[in-house]
Every structure is written in structure tokens, then in C-alpha cells.
């Protein structure tokens, strides 16, 4: 039995993993999905000070509260920033990390640094609060604005994920234009320390490729 910790991308809540988590549980595993501070059903906690460190603290506290070791961290999109930091800060608790069309930062990089110009233009279109990046029209109705500071803040890392037994990257091939995750994908594509998968789906791989993701996650968790 493995324990999966699921971290959503920008504007989304734990609910984006409902079907994936159910599928993992049906196969006898534990799956815990989380909503980050200031987002989705926790949007009432949003304020100008919510940043990447806030979200890292969210997930470090969540991991610390779990009874299991050798966790498999799973991050979608922006969630890659968060799981990278958790693995860096709590290496004794984390066995593997799976990046679902997600950002793979190095020390001192921000989400802004890693994405393309089209994605940056979205970030700059803040809502009336001045600190929230609005959900895009095609997002789930439950999505909310996302804290801008979390996308601009540089990450602080002390290591390079080498403590992990396994690192997987899942790249979505069906973006309407250039993928803003391409830089992260190219960073790991030819690295023998990574297992890289390409799927014929859009960015929401949980919706487009659920069976593929279950297979990949179970393989990543297997010793």
C-alpha cells in the first residue's frame, strides 16, 4: 500500500483529483488531495500576503500530519513548485515525486521565470483585488483566482531531489499553442534520473488521461 499526496495547480482545489484519488483508493492505496490557501474553496483566505511560501507551509504541515512515510508527492502544473519544496524540506518523508505537466524549479527560480510569455500575460491580468490571477473561462466552475505572489516568488531549495528514489514527469502533448511547461519538460527529458512520459492529452491530464495516470502513479510507487 502506498500513500499519494496530491497538490493541484493554479486556481484549482483538491476536487480536481477526485476521480484519480478514487481510482487509487479502489486499488488499495491511500490518496490525500489538498486545496492550497487562498484558492478554490479556501478563496476566503486570500490576501496580498499569500505566496509560494504559504503554500509550501500548507503542504509541509499536511505531510507532517500524515502517519505514513515514503510518500509519493504528485503535483499538477503550479503544484510542481510546491512538491519540489516539500521534497527538499522533508526528504525523510518522501519516496517519489510525480510531476503532472508541472513546473520543475531550481533554487532561485519562480513560476514566472519558468513559463512562456503567453502565460505571463495571464498572470498580469489581475482581478479587481490587485493580487489575484483570475481563473480562465474554461476552468471548472469551482476554480477561483490564484494568489499572484505565489507565481512571482522565487523558490528556496537546498538540494536537487537526488534523495528521491524516483522522479517522474508526465508531459501533455495537446496544448492549443506552445506549452508553458515545455521548459520544465526539456529540463528533465534526457536526464537519466527521471522517468519521462508523453501523453496525448490536454493540460488537464486528470480528465483526459485518467487510466494512464493511474498506471504511471502505481508504477512510480512500486519498489
The radius of gyration of the chain's CA atoms, rounded to the nearest angstrom, is 16
DSSP-assigned beta bridge partners for residue 31: 4
Question: Looking at 2, 77, 144, 184, which residue is catalytic?
Answer: 77
179 is catalytic: no
Q: Is 65 exposed, middle or buried (0-12, 13-18, 19+ CB in 10 A)?
A: exposed
- Asked whether the beta carbons of 191 and 162 are under 8 A apart, the reply is no
CA 33 – CA 11 distance, rounded (Å):
15
- Asked whether the beta carbons of 175 and 200 are under 8 A apart, the reply is no
Record the cell numbers describing residue 21, joined without a space.
484519488
**Of the candidates 132, 140, 3, the residue with the CA atom closest to the CA atom of residue 62:** 3
Q: What are phi and psi of 126, to 5 degrees?
A: -65, 160
CA 116 – CA 102 distance, rounded (Å):
13
> Where does 47-165 show beta strands of DSSP type E?
71-76, 94-100, 132-133, 146-147
CA 6 – CA 17 distance, rounded (Å):
7
Q: Which residues are catalytic?
A: 77
Amino acid at each position: 500500500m502506498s500513500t499519494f499526496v496530491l497538490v493541484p495547480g493554479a486556481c484549482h482545489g483538491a476536487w480536481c483529483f477526485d476521480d484519480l484519488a478514487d481510482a487509487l483508493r479502489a486499488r488499495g492505496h491511500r490518496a490525500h488531495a489538498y486545496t492550497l490557501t487562498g484558492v478554490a474553496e479556501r478563496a476566503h483566505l486570500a490576501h496580498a500576503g499569500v505566496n509560494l511560501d504559504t503554500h509550501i507551509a500548507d503542504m509541509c504541515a499536511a505531510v507532517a500530519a500524515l502517519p505514513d512515510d515514503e510518500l509519493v508527492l504528485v503535483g499538477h502544473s503550479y503544484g510542481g513548485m510546491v512538491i519540489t519544496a516539500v521534497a527538499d524540506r522533508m526528504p525523510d518523508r518522501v519516496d517519489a515525486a510525480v510531476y503532472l505537466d508541472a513546473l520543475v524549479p531550481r533554487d532561485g527560480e519562480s513560476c514566472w521565470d519558468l513559463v512562456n510569455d503567453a502565460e505571463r500575460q495571464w498572470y498580469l491580468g489581475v482581478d479587481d483585488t490587485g493580487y489575484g490571477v483570475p481563473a480562465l473561462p474554461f476552468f471548472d466552475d469551482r476554480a477561483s483566482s490564484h494568489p499572484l505572489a505565489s507565481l512571482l516568488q522565487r523558490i528556496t531549495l537546498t538540494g536537487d531531489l537526488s534523495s528521491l528514489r524516483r522522479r517522474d514527469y508526465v508531459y501533455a502533448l495537446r496544448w492549443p499553442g506552445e506549452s508553458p511547461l515545455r521548459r520544465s519538460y526539456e529540463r528533465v527529458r534526457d536526464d537519466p534520473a527521471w522517468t519521462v512520459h508523453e501523453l496525448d492529452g490536454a493540460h488537464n491530464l486528470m480528465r483526459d488521461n485518467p487510466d494512464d495516470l493511474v498506471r504511471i502513479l502505481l508504477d512510480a510507487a512500486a519498489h
